[in-house]
């Protein structure tokens, strides 16, 4: 059965990390968006989502079917009257941000990551409004360099541990992407996004499908499983394109079948009705011998006795 809604992770699911959507992906995504609501959940901030994702969708895409959850679902945007509007916003306050930045300062020193790597691409610590994100090689590092930086996750796990000693429990600290550690308010996660998505659309969580590349334990998509949403693991955007095309084909087949067979069914019904009508006319125009005999015998039959009350 085709899900009533598909929700996607962005990096390494819909697009290579921080890279724009390919034309093939943009087209496949937009085609499915014609039929059902789709959602995108990412650790990135809304401007990044606009640049990496929205600007590459075909112009005729049904944007009012789309739900965007930037900064690990600390915010939700929907499209109304020609513009993107906030449905909710759990941005960090100035005091919360200051506490997080101080904790990063000390923790990076503790785990030996305070010194800048040989090459860095952009800021290493980024304020994403609802989330503070550390990216080991800077937020614009190329994918191969990012993949080589912390393949066993040891650097990020050590940093996460050091941060958790310094920050109160009302913050959530998660490793994300291939070089990053994300901090949001506790309770703000893609799982929160899934429950909000269900409330906004009225579609039960069990009728959705979440698609992500990091659904394994410890991955930044795994948290959605808490909600009971069915999940589909992909290795990369190529797998996701296949899933989108298959989903679209199912709608297309339904359409095709109904378009192809509906006229046949209507014609068959019309023939049947007309046929029955014609037979009826013939029958009524030429009464059968039994009818004649019956009618004749009725004309000559004795009148039926009139039964009076109390006779039986």
Stretch that binds Mg ion, among 11-19, 129-137, 254-262, 299-307 (CB under 5 A): 11-19
| 182 part of the interface to Mg ion, by CB under 5 A | no
In angstroms, how far is CA 62 from the centroid of its own chain?
Answer: 14
Instruction: Report how many helices (DSSP H) and strands (DSSP E) the chain contains, helices first.
Output: 8, 11
| 11 part of the interface to Mg ion, by CB under 5 A | yes
What is the C-alpha to C-alpha distance for residues 176 and 53, in angstroms, rounded to an integer? 19
Q: How far is the CB of 82 from Mg ion (least distance, A)?
A: 30
Site string for Mg ion, 30-59 (x = CB under 5 A): ------------------------------
Q: Which is nearer to Mg ion, 36 or 40 (CB)?
A: 40
Q: Order of strands, edge to edge, in the sheet holding 171-176? A: 125-127, 132-135, 180-185, 171-176
Of residues 5, 8, 12, 248, which one binds Mg ion by CB under 5 A? Answer: 12
Report the candidate in 204, 198, 231, 196 with the shortest Cα–Cα distance to residue 216: 231
Q: How far is the CB of 258 from Mg ion (least distance, A)?
A: 37
What is the C-alpha to C-alpha distance for residues 226 and 119, in angstroms, rounded to an integer? 38
Q: Which is nearer to Mg ion, 2 or 222 (CB)?
A: 222
Q: Which is nearer to Mg ion, 9 or 182 (CB)?
A: 9
What is the C-alpha to C-alpha distance for residues 80 and 236, in angstroms, rounded to an integer? 31
| 9 part of the interface to Mg ion, by CB under 5 A | yes
What is the C-alpha to C-alpha distance for residues 166 and 155, in angstroms, rounded to an integer? 17
Q: Which is nearer to Mg ion, 11 or 182 (CB)?
A: 11
Q: How far is the CB of 214 from Mg ion (least distance, A)?
A: 5
Of residues 211-270, which lie at the interface with Mg ion (CB under 5 A)?
A: 213-214
Of residues 194-213, which lie at the interface with Mg ion (CB under 5 A)?
A: 213
Residues 6+ apart with CB under 8 A from 136: 113, 117, 124, 146, 149, 150, 155, 156, 179, 180
Question: Where does this chain bind Mg ion (CB under 5 A)?
Answer: 9, 11-12, 213-214
């Amino acid at each position: 059965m085709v899900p009533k809604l598909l929700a996607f992770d962005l990096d390494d699911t819909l697009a290579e990390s921080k890279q724009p959507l390919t034309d093939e992906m943009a087209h496949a995504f937009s085609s499915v968006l014609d039929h059902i609501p789709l959602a995108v959940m990412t650790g990135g901030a809304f401007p990044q989502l606009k640049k990496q994702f929205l600007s590459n969708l075909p112009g005729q895409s049904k944007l009012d079917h789309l739900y965007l959850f930037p900064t690990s679902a600390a915010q939700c945007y929907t499209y109304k009257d020609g513009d993107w509007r906030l449905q909710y916003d759990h941005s960090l306050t100035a005091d919360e941000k200051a506490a997080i930045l101080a904790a990063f300062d000390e923790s990076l020193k503790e785990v030996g990551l305070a010194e800048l790597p040989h090459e860095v691409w952009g800021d290493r610590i980024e304020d994403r409004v609802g989330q503070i994100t550390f990216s080991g090689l800077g937020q614009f590092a190329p994918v191969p360099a990012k993949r080589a930086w912390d393949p066993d996750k040891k650097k990020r796990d050590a940093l996460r541990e050091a941060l958790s000693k310094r920050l109160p429990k009302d913050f959530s600290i998660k490793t994300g992407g291939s070089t990053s550690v994300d901090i949001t308010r506790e309770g703000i996660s893609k799982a929160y996004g899934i429950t909000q998505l269900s409330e906004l659309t009225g579609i039960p969580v069990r009728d959705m499908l979440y698609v992500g590349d990091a659904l394994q334990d410890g991955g930044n998509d795994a948290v959605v499983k808490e909600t009971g949403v069915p999940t589909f693991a992909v290795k990369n955007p190529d797998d996701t394109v296949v899933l989108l095309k298959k989903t679209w084909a199912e709608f297309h087949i339904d359409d095709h079948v109904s378009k192809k067979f509906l006229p046949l069914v209507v014609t068959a019904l019309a023939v049947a009705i007309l046929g029955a009508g014609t037979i009826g006319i013939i029958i009524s125009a030429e009464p059968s011998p039994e009818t004649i005999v019956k009618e004749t015998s009725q004309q000559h039959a004795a009148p039926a006795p009139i039964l009076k009350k109390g006779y039986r």
